């Protein structure tokens, strides 16, 4: 493969991230509210939708921040597999709005949580592989995959948990974002 610069690689990825994040909000169902009085009851059905919206927004935002920092390492792409692991990663990112809508329409379904967990597991795993190949392409030796495997492992556990309990699976899905924002771990990409 002819070496190419990373500009379009980044702008295409940014486009996908920006659209995925904006479509999350598009999928919120418009509530029908009463004209008289000021009662917040009509917003009750929005609560699970807003929670899943925020969960997925944070998940995509973390992926973007990590992707942003990863692409700083290289200025030239000289291996076709970097393009294709990025595509695989973006394929899972584009599925996040769909599985978000699936869990907000089927909050109590274990199959729905399982689908969600599977998609973020796919995104997380393909991102770790992309990271590996980008570091490799920068001629680094001894690339540590320790940090990169935390996300995939937790999401894999969430898939397993979803077979038995949707509540436990949700808890596992919330760990990586929380973990990410803990003071000490701020330098650790998931």
* Residues 113-142, interacting with a second copy (CB under 8 A): 114-115
**C-alpha closest to that of 104 among 31, 33, 171, 47:** 47
Whose tokens are 């949707």? That residue is 166
Closer residue to a second copy, CB minimum distance, 72 or 142: 72
Asked if 68 touches a second copy (CB under 8 A), the answer is: yes
- Segment near a second copy (CB under 8 A); pick from 77-85, 130-138, 140-148, 152-160: 77-85
CB of 170 to a second copy, least distance (A): 14
Token readout for 137 is 């392409």
Determine whether 168 is exposed, middle or buried from the number of CB atoms within 10 Å of its CB (0-12, 13-18, 19+). Answer: middle
The helices-and-strands tally (H runs, E runs) of the chain is 6, 2
Asked if 78 touches a second copy (CB under 8 A), the answer is: no
**C-alpha closest to that of 89 among 57, 27, 131, 53:** 131
CB of 133 to a second copy, least distance (A): 15
Asked if 167 touches a second copy (CB under 8 A), the answer is: no
Which residues does 190 contact at the CB level (< 8 Å), separation at least 6? 62, 66, 124, 147, 150, 151, 176, 179, 180
Asked if 32 touches a second copy (CB under 8 A), the answer is: yes
- Segment near a second copy (CB under 8 A); pick from 60-68, 127-135, 148-156, 170-178: 60-68
Asked if 94 touches a second copy (CB under 8 A), the answer is: yes
Q: Following DSSP, what letter does each residue of 76-90 receive, concatenated?
A: EE--HHHHHHHHHHH
Which positions lie near a second copy, rule CB under 8 A?
1-2, 4, 7-12, 14-26, 28, 30-35, 37-40, 42-43, 54, 57, 61, 64-65, 68-69, 71-72, 80, 83-84, 87, 90-91, 94-95, 97-98, 101-102, 105-106, 108-112, 114-115, 162-164, 186-187
């Amino acid at each position: 493969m002819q070496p190419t610069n990373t500009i379009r690689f980044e702008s295409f990825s940014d486009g996908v991230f920006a659209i995925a994040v904006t479509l999350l909000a598009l999928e919120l169902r418009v509530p029908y509210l009463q004209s008289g009085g000021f009662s917040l009851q009509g917003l009750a059905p929005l609560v699970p939708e807003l929670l899943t919206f925020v969960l997925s927004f944070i998940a995509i935002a973390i992926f973007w921040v990590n992707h942003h920092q990863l692409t700083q390492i290289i200025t030239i792409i000289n291996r076709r597999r970097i393009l294709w692991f990025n595509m695989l990663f973006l394929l899972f990112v584009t599925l996040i709005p769909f599985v978000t809508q699936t869990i907000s329409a089927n909050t109590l379904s274990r199959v729905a949580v399982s689908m969600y967990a599977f998609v973020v597991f796919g995104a997380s795993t393909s991102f770790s592989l992309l990271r590996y190949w980008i570091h490799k392409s920068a001629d680094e030796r001894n690339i540590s995959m320790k940090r990169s495997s935390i996300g995939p492992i937790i999401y894999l556990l969430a898939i397993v948990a979803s077979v038995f309990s949707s509540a436990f699976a949700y808890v596992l899905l919330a760990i990586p974002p929380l973990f990410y924002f803990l003071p000490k771990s701020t330098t650790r990409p998931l």
